Amino acid sequence: MINTRAKSAVENLLTDAGIQLNGTHPWDLQVHNDALYSRVLQHLDLGLGEAYMDGWFDCSKLDEFFYRILNAKLENKVLSNKKLLLTLLFAKLWDCKNKLFNYQTPSHAFEIGEKHYDHGNDLFEAMLDEKMTYTCGYWLNAKTLDEAQTNKLKLTCDKLYLKPGMTLLDIGCGWGSLAKYAAENYGVSVVGVTVSKEQAELARKRCKGLPVEIRLQDYRDVTEKFDRIASLGMFEHVGRKNYKTYMKVANRCLKDDGLFLLHTIGLSTATTGASRWLNKYIFPNSMIPSLKQINAACENIFTVEDVHNFGPDYDKTLMEWHKNFNAHWGELKSNYSERFFRMWNYYLLSCAALFRVRHTQLWQIVLSKRGIPRSYQSIR
């Protein structure tokens, strides 16, 4: 039986965002199970995501649905509603738990690899560009995903001022796209570390014959010195309680005159955890940093030489991944369930909306140990 009070509460909130229940716009929800309303009010983002995975509702433009929710700042409206406030407070207990416990210790380091990156190389080969770069592309003067990702790799290498004969540490090397590109185009030797067995295996194949070593290793266990360090899309898995440790490890592994490029998703406001749905189904133990948190971790360890924000480019990158994933679903579905299909689309489209509304950023930060004597020359 439908809970009319719950439906009315959800309907009023969605109306403020320009969204209708069973409406005609592509961002309107088409509800298949009236228990949706109570589920969302009881479990918020986790309830909404799981309801979509279970087929309780559909939306032809899920990214636009999320954009309107985020743009309308519905969470603030929940805060002002006494009847809904208690529900929000229970959800916020998740943040309190993340303040108390460290879920990114060495004993947990390989969980993200096992639960996300080891889904299967077939999934990521179908979804990503030809170089298999699972981070934001750089779309300046790019028309395709392949061009945007090549642009990003070149931008990264140029910001590091790579020269032949240098050594590069790639923390969180993925399937080896940066390692391969840097070795082939800049004449450097690369050590890449990842916590994903699937990534390590394929990266070794893709980098065969090049001066590239791929290790299945936690970043904290690297001990050598390098001329340069890069980390693309890995800092999101480090965790607030480990930011300082991460910077100390990078400092330990970087030569005194070296440069370190940190490429990370970021938030304008500091938080203590990711959304409960993303944490449960997509990125376990992950946490998005703020600039304040990054700067605090760098104090007395690194000098910030350059900060470059191209967050809107992630919206376009995610939409290209979404397009590729759906285009290849016919080839993939024998290995993945329909529930996974809905989950993965929900992930890609909800994240695209976060960048579209500028709630989430993408920063490339160049760091040095002692400061560049004649000042760092920024590259864009």
* Encoded tokens for 155: 């931008």
What confidence score (pLDDT) does residue 93 get?
A: 47
Which residues pair with residue 229 across a beta bridge? Answer: 169, 260
Domains of the chain: 4-100 (no CATH), 110-368 (3.40.50.150)
What confidence score (pLDDT) does residue 94 get?
A: 45
Q: Could you report the per-residue pLDDT of 145-171, keeping only the tens digit for each? A: 999 999 999 999 999 999 999 999 999
Candidates 292, 301, 236, 284; CA nearest to 263 is: 236
For β-strands 30-31 and 167-171, DSSP reports them as: unpaired
Q: How far apart are the first and last CA of the chain?
A: 57
What confidence score (pLDDT) does residue 321 get?
A: 98
What confidence score (pLDDT) does residue 84 get?
A: 54
In Å, the largest CA–CA distance within the chain is 71
* Given 157, 173, 253, 351, the catalytic residue: 351
What confidence score (pLDDT) does residue 90 get?
A: 43
> Which positions of the chain have pLDDT values less than 70?
1, 77-118, 272-274
* Encoded tokens for 36: 């949706």
* Active-site annotation holds for 351: yes
* Encoded tokens for 137: 């592309």
pTM above 0.85, yes or no: yes
Does residue 175 contact residue 356 with C-beta atoms inside 8 Å?
Answer: no
DSSP 282-319: T-TT----BHHHHHHHHTTT-EEEEEEE-THHHHHHHH
Q: Measured between alpha carbons, how far is residue 244 from residues 14, 105, 235, 249, 378 in Å?
A: 41, 13, 12, 9, 25
